[in-house]
Amino acid sequence: MNINLDGMYLPDIFRQHSILFSIFFYLSICKCIVIYYSDSYVHSKLGDPAWIPAKDRCRLCEEAIQHEGPGLSSWIAVSRGECEWEDGFIDFDAVTENFRDFLNSTLVGAGTLFKYPLRVVYVCGLDHYNKCSHVENIEKQKNMSSAIVYRTGCNEQQISRSSKTSGIIYIPLIKERSKLVDVSSTEIRQYFQNPGGNKTNIDRSIYPNVRKYMSEKYRKK
């Protein structure tokens, strides 16, 4: 469910969690950039049958954003920076540090927008946090922090300890858990490879343009 707060498109989850609201408010001003992995990384990970070229992934995301209407397309966009990067995989921690430096050198100081330094918050799912130790290192950097969002089926032991002993922010989504629908990209691919069966949760999680693209892709196999 989405609500409109003073003319601002605002998902319920942002309204209920103050840290996410702060992130949303900042993004509504600066415009969020979605970065997609390079072809070489995705191709090597998935192989030919499941691989979707970067140009198609970017286009599908742009069409999905437009499908949501101006409430979303006015503040979120797709960047082709990473998929066009010729030197391979881009580390998220280095990108976050560079983003912090760019914002503070551009927006903070005499004659600029802000008087005090901005803190950049790296937001990721609990599954990513559990697999990648670098997320905790972000918290140790100046003017940087991490916010971890609960994901169905992921172990919470590590984040429970870290959120008590460090500045890492954990959004456990306690009230939302009974309504969460968790669908992975693997499940979506399998859905189109074997379309039979009752998979309502997957079907309603797919944008029309993605459904059309994937149907045509696997129809050719």
Torsion of CA 48, 51, 55, 60, to 10 degrees: 140
Q: Is the pLDDT of residue 218 over 50?
A: yes
Output the CA torsion 202→75→104→81 (10° steps): 60
Q: Where are the domains of the chain?
A: 181-221
CB atoms near residue 5 (< 10 Å): 10
Measured distance CA(53)–CA(87) in Å, rounded: 17
Residue 73: both structure tokens together: 């397309």
Q: For position 51, what pLDDT does the model report?
A: 83
The residue to which tokens 């100046």 are assigned? 142
Rounded to an integer, the average pLDDT of 171-190 is: 85
**Tens digit of each residue's pLDDT (9 = 90 or more) over 97-125:** 888 998 899 888 877 788 888 888 888 88
Predicted confidence (pLDDT) at residue 157 exceeds the cutoff of 90 = yes
What does pTM read for this prediction?
Answer: 0.68
Distance CA 63, CA 211 (A): 12
DSSP state of 178: G
User: pLDDT at position 3, please?
Assistant: 29
